[in-house]
């Protein structure tokens, strides 16, 4: 968490409901959570005291946090559950169950049943939802049964009734099983329930208000009060996500330019449910308008097939139709699917567009806070190293190997725009260097890297080497040979005799004494963090290569044996051990293995 300026980040957070996602340094999603108040909830993870050991372990791994603002807490819950099921974050798995979302089911029957359902939608009829939790479904079901007197019994029970059950006596069912209500009247109640579940509450409430007025005019005040309470309850249980019975496949896009940072945000809705949100930070090198930049980026996004969750039915963005029409035509040509454009002028689309705009502003503000933190830290580095100006970019090299095996060099980058810049990270497989010669390995990696950057005129300002006086002097020779000694400041960072973090020395080429910084100096802590990241990145590459080389089958090293012949050999002998014990003549019996090739394989297996 060394590079995460939590104070600056918290200042940008909204106090609205939403979802937060915590990531590690290697972009692993650690935890997904929802909050009624994002700022308060995320701040609680960084209290000075009162955290349990599991929370402390989580916080110690946080490198950055992303947030998505939602319309309400119920919607945040649905998005949280979707992300947990999709990514299975390690700190969520033990806390969240794997159940599917609950629905309300209206059966396909002469007298339909309205019931709670969870899991696969196997039964015929219509499903409404999903709902945030089972409690919300059961509450909705309870109110709907009270309001419309719909049956709650399964068909096997319904078909064998000869007299009304208790539900009829307590006014929770109109007893269609024994003819206490006509088919037409029951269908009227079913249609009313369907209107409510489809979100057409205004039309339904208008009907109920008319009935309430009629009841009042006929002095039936008790019935009028019941209808008044039911209308109020109906409004309360509408606090679920925008669901319209299976519709609502849309992508909402918004773009903002906040203090020079352009943030483009995409909200994805499938079947009316918010399933994902993404921030993008496109470069506007051509100086295009925000509308032009958004359409250009969206065109690349969809036509390059980056939308893994498929094309939406609607694209919601504030853009004139004529500017977007070429993209809509291209999508229809490429995918044979018509995508409609909505400007988000009213209704649900307006709400979704507002959410996208708010998240775009939040993303830009977060980016700015991160950039300002990076600039402040780079100035502290300049003060520590007595540089004439704050460096725009620091690049750090480290070497990793196991007794000379699978030697790898890493280069990680810290820049003024976004701190650790992973798109610029590089690994170098070291070849032709004596085992354990770290000096030569560093020299090879730095030479290869700087030669390429020199051709691109894209040099760093500071070169940091994980090593002491010997390593930095060797790298200084490389800079001299490339005529870069006056353009790049180079320093080595070593842990000294104690090998303890916080007691490192900084070495400059040809210096007789190291720089011995204060352990709490912000510039020094930044250099430590970059060095640690380079070490992590180098070890990762080295371990992958070592595992690959050690896991390589001896069969893959046999001359003249490709995948097809390897398969035939394994089918014939069953294992490499059996193959070694076989005679040369037995090898010749394998399909595709000639007498000459059998001799070569036999010699290879027996070291001849």
Q: Is residue 1 part of a domain?
A: no
Sorting pLDDT into bands at 50, 70 and 90, what band is 582?
A: confident
Of 87, 115, 130, the one marking the end of a domain is 87
Do the beta carbons of residue 385 and residue 489 sit within 8 Å?
yes
**Residues in Cβ contact with 589 at an 8 Å cutoff, skipping those fewer than 6 apart:** 572
Q: Is residue 407 part of a domain?
A: yes
CATH number of the domain at 599, please.
Answer: 1.10.150.20
pLDDT at residue 564, rounded to an integer: 83
CATH number of the domain at 279, please.
Answer: 3.30.420
415 three-class SS: strand
Of 329, 364, 399, the one marking the end of a domain is 364
Q: Is residue 254 located within the same domain as residue 342? A: yes
Higher per-residue pLDDT: 497 or 61 = 61
Of 549, 565, 580, the one marking the end of a domain is 549
Q: Which residues pair with 68 in a beta bridge?
A: 19
Query: Please, what is the Cα angle at 143 between 142 and 144, to 5 degrees?
Result: 95
Q: Which residues pair with 273 in a beta bridge?
A: 270
User: Does the pLDDT value for residue 49 go beyond 80?
Assistant: no
Q: Is residue 116 part of a domain?
A: yes
Residue 587, domain extent: 554-605
Greatest mean pLDDT range, 98-112, 163-177, 242-256 = 163-177
Higher per-residue pLDDT: 15 or 49 = 15
Q: How far apart are alpha carbons 301 and 264 in whole angstroms? A: 12
Whole-prediction pTM value? 0.45
Q: Is residue 182 located within the same domain as residue 301? A: no
Q: Is residue 408 located within the same domain as residue 349? A: no
Q: Is residue 203 located within the same domain as residue 219? A: yes
Q: Is residue 518 located within the same domain as residue 462? A: yes
Q: Is residue 178 located within the same domain as residue 259? A: no
Q: Is residue 591 located within the same domain as residue 525? A: no
Number of structural domains the chain divides into? 5
Q: How far apart are alpha carbons 536 and 2 in whole angstroms? A: 14
pLDDT at residue 596, rounded to an integer: 86
User: Does the pLDDT value for residue 461 go beyond 90?
Assistant: yes
Q: Is residue 403 located within the same domain as residue 422? A: yes
Q: Is residue 186 located within the same domain as residue 119? A: yes
Higher per-residue pLDDT: 206 or 155 = 155
Q: Is residue 378 part of a domain?
A: no
Segment among 65-74, 79-88, 580-589 with least mean pLDDT: 79-88
Q: Is residue 259 located within the same domain as residue 210? A: no
Q: Is residue 244 part of a domain?
A: no
Q: Is residue 383 part of a domain?
A: no
Torsion of CA 358, 364, 367, 369, to 10 degrees: -80
Q: Is residue 171 located within the same domain as residue 116? A: yes
CATH number of the domain at 405, please.
Answer: 3.30.420.340
Q: How far apart are alpha carbons 166 and 67 in whole angstroms? A: 50
Higher per-residue pLDDT: 275 or 412 = 412
Q: Is residue 357 located within the same domain as residue 209? A: no
Q: Is residue 381 part of a domain?
A: no
Do the beta carbons of residue 602 and residue 584 sit within 8 Å?
yes
Q: Measure the N-to-C terminal CA separation of the chain; round to a whole number of Å.
A: 56
pLDDT at residue 472, rounded to an integer: 92
Q: Is residue 453 part of a domain?
A: yes
Q: How far apart are alpha carbons 304 and 468 in whole angstroms? A: 47
CATH number of the domain at 37, please.
Answer: 3.40.1440.10
Burial letters for 544-560: b for 16+ Cβ neighbours within 10 Å, e otherwise?
ebbeeeeeeeebeebee
Segment among 182-191, 298-307, 488-497, 571-580 with least mean pLDDT: 298-307
Q: How far apart are alpha carbons 215 and 209 in whole angstroms? A: 10
């Amino acid at each position: 968490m060394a590079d995460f300026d939590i104070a600056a980040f918290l200042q940008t957070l909204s106090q609205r409901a939403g979802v937060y996602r915590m990531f590690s340094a290697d972009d692993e999603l650690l935890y997904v959570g929802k909050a009624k108040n994002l700022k308060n909830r995320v701040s609680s993870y960084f209290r000075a005291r009162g955290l349990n050991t599991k929370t402390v372990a989580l916080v110690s791994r946080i490198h950055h946090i992303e947030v998505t603002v939602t319309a309400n807490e119920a919607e945040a819950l649905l998005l949280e559950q979707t992300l947990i099921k999709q990514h299975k974050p390690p700190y969520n798995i033990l806390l969240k169950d794997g159940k599917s979302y609950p629905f309300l089911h209206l059966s396909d029957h002469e007298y339909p049943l309205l019931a709670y359902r969870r899991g696969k939608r196997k039964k015929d009829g219509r499903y409404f939802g999903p709902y945030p939790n089972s409690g919300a479904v059961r509450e909705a079901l309870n109110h709907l049964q009270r309001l419309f007197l719909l049956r709650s019994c399964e068909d096997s029970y319904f078909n064998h009734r000869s007299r009304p059950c208790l539900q009829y006596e307590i006014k929770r069912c109109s007893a269609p099983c024994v003819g206490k209500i006509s088919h037409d009247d029951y269908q009227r109640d079913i249609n009313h329930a369907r209107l409510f579940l489809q979100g057409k509450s205004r039309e339904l409430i208008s009907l109920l208000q008319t009935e309430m007025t009629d009841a009042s005019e006929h002095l039936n005040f008790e019935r009028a009060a019941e209808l008044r309470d039911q209308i109020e309850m109906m409004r309360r249980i509408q606090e679920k996500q925008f669901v319209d019975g299976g519709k609502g496949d849309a992508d909402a896009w918004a773009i903002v330019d906040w203090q020079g940072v352009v943030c483009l945000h995409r909200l994805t809705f499938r079947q009316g449910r918010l399933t994902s949100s993404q921030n993008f930070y496109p470069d506007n090198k051509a100086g295009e308008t925000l509308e032009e930049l958004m359409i250009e980026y969206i065109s690349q996004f969809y036509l390059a097939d980056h939308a893994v969750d498929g094309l939406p039915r609607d694209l919601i963005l504030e853009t004139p139709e004529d500017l977007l029409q070429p993209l809509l035509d291209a999508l229809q040509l490429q995918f044979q699917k018509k995508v409609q454009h909505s400007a988000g002028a009213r209704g649900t689309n307006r709400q979704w567009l507002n959410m996208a705009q708010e998240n775009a502003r939040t993303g830009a503000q977060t980016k700015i806070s991160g950039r300002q933190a990076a600039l402040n830290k780079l100035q502290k580095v300049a003060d520590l190293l007595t540089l004439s100006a704050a460096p725009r970019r620091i690049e750090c090299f480290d070497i990793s190997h196991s007794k000379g095996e699978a030697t790898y060099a890493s280069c990680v980058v810290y820049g003024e725009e976004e701190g650790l810049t992973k798109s610029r990270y590089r690994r170098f497989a070291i070849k032709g260097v004596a085992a354990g010669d770290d000096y030569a390995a560093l020299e090879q990696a730095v030479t290869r890297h700087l030669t390429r950057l020199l051709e691109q005129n894209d040099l760093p300002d500071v070169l940091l080497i994980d090593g002491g006086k010997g390593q930095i002097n060797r790298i200084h020779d490389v800079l001299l040979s490339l005529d870069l000694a006056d353009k790049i400041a180079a320093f080595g960072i070593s842990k000294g005799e104690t090998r303890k973090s916080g007691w490192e020395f900084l070495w400059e080429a040809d210096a007789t004494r190291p720089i011995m910084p204060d352990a709490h100096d912000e510039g020094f802590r930044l250099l430590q963090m970059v060095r640690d990241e380079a070490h992590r990145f180098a070890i990762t590459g080295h371990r992958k290569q070592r595992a690959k080389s050690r896991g390589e089958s001896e069969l893959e090293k046999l001359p003249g044996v490709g995948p097809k012949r390897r398969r035939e050999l394994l089918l014939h002998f069953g294992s490499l051990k059996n193959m070694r014990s076989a005679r040369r003549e037995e090898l010749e019996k394998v399909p595709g293995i000639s007498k000459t090739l059998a001799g070569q394989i036999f010699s290879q297996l027996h070291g001849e």
